[in-house]
Amino acid sequence: MRIKILALLYVALLIIIVWLADHRKYHHAFDVMRALPYGDKIGHFLLMGLLAFVVNLALKCKRWRIFGLRFLAGSVIVLVFVFIEEVSQLFIRYRTFDWFDLLADALGIFLFGRLAAYLSRKAGYSYDR
């Protein structure tokens, strides 16, 4: 139950971050990340990776079969929402769509999803036994 609450709190934090990014007057809040080399990409990797991590743990690393392949349900859910959010930047005046942001998101989702599956299996909490 605690992991589900943590996942909801993390989603709320990400919603706030996206809202701030969508409003030009708050862009200064991201200056620290912009100052770091590849800071934006690192941020995408970590933020979306951690989201996949907590969502997969909240779902006990349940897997879905898609086109004959098995995927972590939480990772699929996160990837769909992240893709929609990234594409929505094409329609928001002060945001810019970037394929490399999407790539950093996908890498974080994949790697942190694998970490969640590994830890879940070790703890015996996974549906994937």
* Average pLDDT for the chain: 88
Q: Is 72 strand, coil or helix? A: strand
pLDDT tens profile 54-111: 999 999 999 999 999 999 999 999 999 999 999 988 988 777 888 999 999 999 999 9
Beta strands in the chain (DSSP E): 63-66, 69-72
Measured CA to CA, the distance from residue 111 to residue 75 in angstroms comes to 10
Measured CA to CA, the distance from residue 51 to residue 3 in angstroms comes to 12
**Phi/psi class of residue 126: alpha, beta or left (left: φ > 0; alpha: ψ in -120 to 50)?**
beta
* Residue 40 predicted with pLDDT over 60: yes
Domain residue ranges of the chain, discontinuous segments joined by +: 2-123
Measured CA to CA, the distance from residue 10 to residue 48 in angstroms comes to 10
Measured CA to CA, the distance from residue 41 to residue 99 in angstroms comes to 11
Give the helix, strand, coil percentages of the chain, each rounded to 5.
Answer: 75, 5, 20
Give the residue among 103, 98, 72 at the shortest CA–CA distance from 87.
Answer: 98
Q: pLDDT grade, residue 31 (50/70/90)?
A: low
